Structure 1
Amino acid sequence: MCGNNMSAPLPAIVPAARKATAAVIFLHGLGDTGHGWAEAFAGIRIPHVKYICPHAFDIYGLSPDADEDESGIKRASENIKALIDQEVKNGIPSHRILLGGFSQGGALSLYTALTTQQKLAGVVALSCWLPLRKSFPQASANSANKDMHVLQCHGDADPLVPFVFGSETAEKMKSLINPANITFKSYRGLPHSACPEEMVDIKKFIEKQLPPISD
């Protein structure tokens, strides 16, 4: 069981090559750990960006067609907000922090960005959907992130989270934040996973949203 966060393992971290002036917090999918994604981000490193890939964000019932575990989603979201606060304490302002995730992690990153008072640099949402969507737009009415940029990516051959869930989520997001700031990219033949072309698009997005700043 990973419900007790006191014993949750420390996140997998890809440190910045020089002083970190920005961070990406990226959440894995169900049954995975942060290690695989830390490895993927190590392959697209940006010198001033620190990558944080937490483990143990499995929420059973957070899937596109399940009865959603609302209290579990909210609890996990609070944990992510605490992680963001920790990075702010470390000296990286929240508007230099980008949130992201794959599948269940992507759903959680969208939910957190839409409900937090922390102003974020944006969201990278891969192969996912918007959870608790019936509670929006009320839940996002006071969000600090109405103008955030979102990169949503989805394979058109995804057997687990159907492509239509991704495209419908992008449409729903356009009613919640500035629609001009939403980019939805599809990848031909890609199942429920990532691909090199997608990682290149993610890197470009991170570089644009988290440009280097002079010390």
Structure 2
Amino acid sequence: MCGNNMSAPLPAIVPAARKATAAVIFLHGLGDTGHGWAEAMAGIRTPHVKYICPHAPVMPVSLNMNMAMPSWFDIIGLSPEAEEDETGIKKAAESIKALIDQEVKNGIPSDRIILGGFSQGGALSLYTALTTHQKLAGVVALSCWLPLRNSLSQCHGEADPLVPLMFGRLTVEKLKTLLNPANITFKTYPRMPHSACPEEMLDIKQFIEKQLPPVN
């Protein structure tokens, strides 16, 4: 991968099969790229929806002995009390808000945009959605947590060894204090580790189709 640490390649995009009237912006997890999730979204695509899977910039990650890898922000530790990279999280959120703004300029209203992500990407999608001035159609947060929760739809595998299910449950309880609890769905998947499964992808597809119906 070339370029400096401040830049990342252009997002992987699954274009709409017809005129795009809605969009899904989905953020990958630590050390990954947007390509795998673009393939996953292509497998559940809806004809009028454009899927955008950006790539995180490469940076040293404290948790992984300062090895450089694609990361939305630095991760210092995995415990609920671990110090957080507040500056990095806020900067990353601004870059995602800029992506949302770009789609609005392209003619897709913000309330026809779903933001989502897996693990670190899910954490960033939750934080961005809760701090943006744009009204979004919804959030798909997979196997993740809510960063900077003290200054401030979630899915989780019950057998997740990296981001424990407890983090998902705590996140949902926090979200219920910030949002209308009726708008929050928390689903768990037995025996699913830190990954996605076909049942979860089907649930994502149904959520997208419900929140982003075709425009007549």
Q: TM-score, normalised by structure 1?
A: 0.89
The equivalent of 2:52 in structure 1 is 52
Question: 8 Å contact 1:106–1:127 — kept in the other structure?
Answer: yes
The equivalent of 1:147 in structure 2 is none
Instruction: State the distance in 1 between where 2:9 and 2:131 align.
Output: 25
Instruction: State the distance in 2 between where 1:63 and 1:195 align.
Output: 26
99, 104, 107: which is aligned to 1:88? 104
SS of residue paired to 2:210: helix
Q: Unaligned regions of 5+ residues in structure 2, if any?
A: 58-70
2:213 alignment partner AA: P
150, 157, 174: which is aligned to 2:159? 157
* Mapped pair 1:61 → 2:63: no
Instruction: State the distance in 1 between where 2:11 and 2:93 align.
Output: 16
Once the two structures are superposed, the pairs formed by residues 167-186 of structure 1 within 5 Å of their partners are 167-186=169-188
Q: Go from structure 1 to structure 2 and tell me whether the alpha carbon gap of 1:74 and 1:2 turns closer, same or farther (over 3 Å shift).
A: farther
SS of residue paired to 2:18: coil
The equivalent of 1:148 in structure 2 is none
* Mapped pair 1:78 → 2:94: yes
Per-residue deviation, residues 92-117 of structure 1 (Å, max 9, x unmatched): 01110000000000000000000010
Instruction: State the distance in 2 between where 1:189 and 1:47 align.
Output: 32
Instruction: State the distance in 2 between where 1:44 and 1:189 align.
Output: 22
1:118 alignment partner AA: Q
Question: 8 Å contact 1:62–1:73 — kept in the other structure?
Answer: no
Once the two structures are superposed, the pairs formed by residues 65-214 of structure 1 within 5 Å of their partners are 65=79, 66-136=82-152, 151-214=153-216
Tell me how far 1:63 sits from its aligned partner. 5.7
Q: TM-score, normalised by structure 2?
A: 0.89
The equivalent of 1:144 in structure 2 is none
Question: 8 Å contact 1:155–1:189 — kept in the other structure?
Answer: yes
Tell me how far 1:56 sits from its aligned partner. 1.2
The equivalent of 1:41 in structure 2 is 41
Q: Go from structure 1 to structure 2 and tell me whether the alpha carbon gap of 1:173 and 1:63 turns closer, same or farther (over 3 Å shift).
A: farther
RMSD across aligned C-alpha pairs, in angstroms? Answer: 1.3
1:116 alignment partner AA: T
Instruction: State the distance in 2 between where 1:56 and 1:187 align.
Output: 27
Tell me how far 1:2 sits from its aligned partner. 6.0
Q: Go from structure 1 to structure 2 and tell me whether the alpha carbon gap of 1:43 and 1:63 turns closer, same or farther (over 3 Å shift).
A: farther
SS of residue paired to 1:25: strand
